[in-house]
Structure 1
Amino acid sequence: MKWRLTGRFLATVVLVVILVTFINIFVLISLLIAQSALNIPIFHNTETSAEAFTRLFQDEITELNNHVTISEKGKKELDKKNAWIQILDENGKGIYNYRTPNGVKKKYTPTEIVNMYKYQEVNVNATVFMSEKNLNQKRYSYFMGFNDPYINKHVLSYDSRNVVQMFKVGSIVLILLDSLVALFIGYLFSKRLTSPLNTLIDGIKRMANKDYNINYESKGIYKDVFYNLNNLSFQLKSSEMERKKLEKMKEEWIGNISHDIKTPLASIQGFAEMMKNTDYNFTLDEMREYAEIIERKSLYMNEVIKDLNLSTRLKNKKLLLNRNYINLVTLLRNILIDTLNDTKYSNRNIEFQFSEETIKLDVDEILIRRAITNLINNAIVHNDEDVKIIVSIEKKERTQIRIKDHGKGIMKDELEIIFDRYYRGTNTGESHKGSGLGMAIANDIIQAHNGEITIDSVIGRGTTIEIHL
């Protein structure tokens, strides 16, 4: 996968470089052809070259009193160019000189003229060009030398067949060299660009294998991707830790529930076997006492099973709410009366406060009763008998129900999981063991009504639970 990604990118870079090279060659050849055909100065400035100046200087050569000379304008141009001129007649004899240096010959043979122009074999410190002037049906040749170290000339001779062959070979070599250079540069560039991608791929594979200990440095063009990958790794790691913690709680909860169900079931089974055995002659009062124990244990088991069923339906959003407008003040008052009528809680100090007599809301009365009952029972069973519990309700922007006590309080680490399923408070007494789903059920019911439930607690100062509907 890594080499395939790098190879594809590398091939793209090489193809682009080769294409650009061919385009550059095509444009260069086109410009050269245009310059040659149209005589447009594309690759040099518009200033007249030394050779062109020599060729055009014939306009400044004139005849005066049967003597060949140059115009004043021509002399000024020669002075400006730091150049000299020597005019020859048809026999190669010098007939006019201007600014010619020492050592210039007075007469030339045809071979010397050719050498003077072509090979610069005379002892002069100048670059010499040659042209001619037709004047009064006579042809005059002239040398023009430029005392400028930057002006040079070279005579080139070549075989066109060799040039074509060299062009073919050179083109192949150039393409190969360009390809190798492009391949090398493309490899370095693509490796630099794809290396972070390979790191990202490795990170994703590690997360797929549940290895969430990933923390890459966020830099380069992929810094946002690395940042999001680190963030995803952190979230997955947190979720995995939460899952393991929930799994552990679930296992502990199953063990506790199994034990809690096994105990009343053993009592039911034991008393039933005793009542069935003909060896025992129980009195009517004894039979009623045993039947009462069996009933109480059965009711406890039935309550646990109902909690399991209700929790599952709430969790899976399969519980339909039977909404009606009811007076929550009346509902809360009835809940507290029923609680205090229970012999287990008859001596509890519970106070009820309300801002107005009627506060109506569209809710499922049975589920809201269940949620508030669970919360009140939670405050009762986790505190001493003399702790005062205040239940209040008031109407603001939303209806607010508060359950407050000044009891033992709840530790911070328990506050974070108190509404989780399978959590059972550490301060619960032996006589108050239940399914461990009471707080989770209450939270799910409030959320099903689009409400919110919050809890605030300080060790030794008490706990406050607020419901907003």
Structure 2
Amino acid sequence: MNWRLTGRYMVSVIIVTIITVFINLFGFMIWLVLQASSQHSEENTPETFTRSFEQYITFSDQGITVKKEGQQALKQQNAWVQILDENGQDVYHIRAPKGLKDKYTPLEIVNLHKYKDKQLLSTIYAGGKKVKGKEYSYFIGFKNPSLGKYLFSFDTKDLVTRFNIGTIILLSIDAIIALIIGYLFSRQLTKPLGRVIHGIQRLANGDYTTNLPTKGMYKDVFYNVNHLSEQLASSKKEKDKLEQMREEWISHISHDIKTPLASIQGYAEIIKDPNYPLSGHEIRHYARIIENKSLYIKDVMEDLNLTSRLKNNDVMLNKELVNIVSLLRETLIDILNDSRYADQLIELQTNVEKLMLNLDAILIRRAVTNLILNALVHNDHDVQIVVQIEQKEQTHVTIKDNGKGIEEEELEKVFDRYYRGTNTGVTHAGSGLGMAIAKDIIQKHGGDITISSTLGKGTTIDIQLPS
């Protein structure tokens, strides 16, 4: 995988490099052509000046002269001029340096045109003018020491051959350089990606200890991989914790169900056995025990079914306008009518007698019952419970007790499925799903539920229902 990525990056870099080289060569050639064109188009170059100087040369019966404009131009160019006839004889000169000859042979004329004259300290250019059928030539010498002129000859075929060889060598060198740079660049790009791929593979294999250095051009990618690793590690920890709680819950619930089943089985066998002559009072007593144990198992099964349906969003609310005050009063009466809680102190406080809400009465009753029973079984027998109703932006139902309170580390778990508080009495048995079911019911109605507690002072549960 790493070599595949490296190869792709190398190919892209090489292509970019080659295209860049050709663009540079093409641009350089265009620049040379433009430079040459611009030089030829400039009027102040020595060649142009020499070719155009003939306009200043005049011929008359009195002889050959140079106009004042031409003399001024020579002065500005720091140059001199010498005019020769067809035989190479000097017929006119102005601003001529020392050592200037009066007559030149054809070879001398050619040499003066080709090379810089060291004796005259001038770079010489030649021009010509035809007057009345006679050819006159002239030299213009520039006394500029920085000005040079060199002529060279070449074989076109040899030049083309050398150019092709040079081009091949140049392209070969460029290709080698491109390979080296491309490889180094690709390694810099793909090495971090290799670390990312390795880290993701570790995450896929369940290793959530990945910690990549968050630096370089891929630092955002590294940060997100690290964040994903932390999230997965946290989720795994929570999952393991929930799984442990679930296993403990299964163990407890199995024990809680076995105990009433054993009672049911035992009393049923006694009633069935003819060797045990039972009175009608004893039979009714044993039947009542069997009924209570059966109802307990039924409640546990209903909790299991309801929490599963709430978790899977499989519960349809049968909403209707209900007087929440009457509903809560009836709920408290039902709890106090239970012989187990008949002498408990449970009070309803409200400043209104009618508060209509659109809700599922059966489920809200179930939620409130679970919360109150939870307060009863997790506290001492003399605990006092107050249920308050208050109308604000939302309807608040508050359940307060003055019991033992809940430790802070347990406070976050009370609404978790399968969690049983440490204050649960040893004689208490139940599904351990009551608080989770209550929260799911409230949230199903679009409300919310919060809990606060202080050790030794009690616990407050606040239910917010939409008005």
TM-based fold match above 0.5? yes
Match of 2:292 in 1: 296
- Cα distance per residue 1:53-100 (max 9 Å; x no partner): 122212222346644332222222222112222333323233433333
Report the Cα distance in structure 1 between the residues aligned to 2:118 and 2:360, rounded to whole angstroms. 121
User: Does 2:304 align with 1:308?
Assistant: yes
Unpaired runs of 5+ residues, structure 2, are none
- Describe the SS at the equivalent of 2:340: coil
Q: How far does residue 159 in structure 1 lie from its aligned partner after superposition?
A: 1.0
**Superposition CA RMSD, Å:** 2.7
DSSP-derived class of the 2:86 partner: coil
Equivalent residue, structure 2, for 1:5: 5
Aligned to 1:163: 159
Map Cα deviations across residues 307-350 of structure 1 (whole Å, 9 max, x no partner): 11111111111122222222111111111112122222222221
Deviation at 1:200, TM superposition (A): 3.2
Is 1:203 matched with 2:192?
no
Q: In the aligned structure 2, how far is the partner of 1:233 from the partner of 1:126?
A: 82
Partner of 2:329: 333
1:366 pairs with 2:374: no
The Cα of 1:195 is off from its aligned counterpart by 4.1
The 1-side partners of 2:415 and 2:213 are apart by 37
Q: Which residue of 1 aligns with 2:172?
A: 176
Partner Cα separation in structure 1 for residue 284 and residue 145 of structure 2: 134
Question: Does the CA contact (< 8 Å) of 2:82 and 2:138 recur in 1?
Answer: yes
Distance across 1 between alignment mates of 2:209 and 2:97: 88
**1:440 to 2:436 alignment:** yes
**Distance in 2 between residues matched to 1:151 and 1:45, nearest whole Å:** 18
Query: Shift in Å at residue 187 of structure 1?
Result: 3.8
Distance in 1 (CA, whole Å) between partners of 2:41 and 2:208 is: 67
Q: Structure 1 residue 244 and structure 2 residue 240: aligned?
A: yes
How many angstroms does 1:270 deviate by?
3.5
Q: Does 1:19 align with 2:19?
A: yes
- Greater Cα offset, 269-278 or 160-169: 269-278
Q: Could you tell me which of 231, 235, 238 is aligned with 1:235?
A: 231
Residues 210 and 149 of structure 1: CA distance in aligned 2, closer, same or farther (over 3 Å): farther
| Aligned counterparts of 2:298 and 2:216: Cα–Cα separation in 1 | 62
* Range 315-324 or range 191-200, more displaced: 191-200
Residue number in structure 1 paired with 2:127: 131
Question: Do 1:50 and 1:151's aligned partners in 2 also have CA atoms closer than 8 Å?
Answer: no
Listed as ranges, the gaps of 5+ residues in structure 1 are none
Query: Are the counterparts in 2 of residues 387 and 407 from structure 1 also a CA contact under 8 Å?
Result: yes
C-alpha displacement of 1:283: 4.7
Q: Which residue of 2 aligns with 1:395?
A: 391
2:265 is aligned, of 260, 266, 269, to 269
TM-aligned CA deviation for residue 305 of structure 1: 1.3
Q: Quick check: 118-127 or 369-378, which moved more?
A: 118-127
Conserved 8 A contact 2:414-2:435: yes
Equivalent residues of 2:40, 2:48 under 8 A apart:
no
1:38-437 residue pairs with structure 2 within 5 A?
A: 40-41=37-38, 46-63=42-59, 66-120=62-116, 122-219=118-215, 221-277=217-273, 280-437=276-433
**In the TM superposition, what is the alpha-carbon distance from 1:101 to its structure 2 partner?**
3.0
Q: Is the 8 A contact 2:124 2:141 kept in 1?
A: yes
Q: Report the AA paired with residue 133 of structure 1.
A: K
Query: Contact conserved, 1:89 with 1:141, CA < 8 A, in 2?
Result: yes
Q: Tell me how far 1:389 sits from its aligned partner.
A: 1.1
Three-state SS of the structure 1 residue aligned to 2:339 is: coil
Q: Which amino acid letter does the alignment assign opposite residue 326 of structure 1?
A: V
Q: Which residue of 1 aligns with 2:453?
A: 457
Q: How many angstroms apart in 2 are the aligned matches of 1:418 and 1:355?
A: 30
Tell me if the contact between 2:115 and 2:149 (Cα under 8 Å) persists in the aligned partners: no
The Cα of 1:130 is off from its aligned counterpart by 1.9
Name the CA distance, whole Å, in 1 between partners of 2:307 and 2:335.
Answer: 22
Q: Residues of 2 paired with 1:369 and 1:117: CA distance?
A: 119
Q: CA deviation at 1:204?
A: 2.6
- Report the Cα offset of residue 119 of structure 1: 3.2
Q: Which amino acid aligns with 1:142?
A: Y
Which residue identity does 1:16 align to in structure 2? V
In structure 2, C-alpha distance between the alignment counterparts of 1:349 and 1:45, rounded to whole Å: 113
User: CA separation in 2, counterparts of 1:392 and 1:122?
Assistant: 119
Give 1:260 deviation, angstroms: 1.6
SS in 2 for 1:307: helix
Q: Structure 2 counterpart of 1:379, which letter? A: A
Give the Cα separation in 2 of the matches to 1:107 and 1:212.
100
Q: 2:384–2:402: 8 Å Cα contact kept in structure 1?
A: yes
Residue pair 2:123, 2:147 contacting (<8 A) in 1 also: yes
- Is contact 2:406–2:454 with CA below 8 Å preserved after alignment? yes
Of the structure 1 ranges 426-435 and 163-172, higher mean CA displacement relative to structure 2 is found in: 163-172
The normalised TM-score by structure 2 is: 0.90
Give the 3-state SS of the residue equivalent to 2:446 in structure 1. coil
The whole-number CA distance in structure 1 between the counterparts of 2:322 and 2:374 is 24
Contact kept? 1:104, 1:122, Cα under 8 Å? no
In structure 1, what is the Cα distance between the partners aligned to 2:150 and 2:175?
Answer: 34
Q: For residue 223 of structure 1, report the CA deviation from its aligned partner.
A: 4.4
SS across alignment from 2:167: helix
